[in-house]
Structure 1
Amino acid sequence: MPNFQITTHERWDHVVQYVVDAPTLEAAIRMVTSGRVPYTSAEYQGCNPIQEVFSILEVTNNDTNKTIKGEKKLKKLLDNSVG
């Protein structure tokens, strides 16, 4: 199963990272936005996710080393996952 690292911008200007195993990028984003994945950023490790993702800043597929950056590209994925 692919492993994704997702960097998000959340409430109170938190920029946090999640690392999640999911079958697809869309599934990984759904898991993150639903609050089912704990923070992996060092400064927030062990905290419960805020669950208010305003935008996704970057996604990396750790298996292929491919990174998607840019809020415009990722906004569509976020909108589809939350809606």
Structure 2
Amino acid sequence: CLNVAAMDENEVWRAFGGHPEGLNAQEVLKIRAEHGDNQIPAQKPFPWWVHLWLCYRNPFNLLLTVLGIISYATEDLFAAGVIALMVGIST
């Protein structure tokens, strides 16, 4: 990095094999043949239920779910409702 910082502009262009005007058509074709098009492969989006699970599965939500189940089992419905609301908001 320090070597490049001390170089003249033309030396930097030569060091990296570039031109101030950019690549010409022949260079573009050569690089495309060697490396392919500059395209990112498209990914199929996750189904909604997979996306929901990926958002849900963190330790905070899992702990709240366990506490909500315990609250529901001990018939503390208000606490279970509040905990369910917290899980819904944090997901």
- Calculate the TM-score normalised by the size of structure 1: 0.22
Higher strand share: 1
- Calculate the TM-score normalised by the size of structure 2: 0.21
Higher helix share: 2
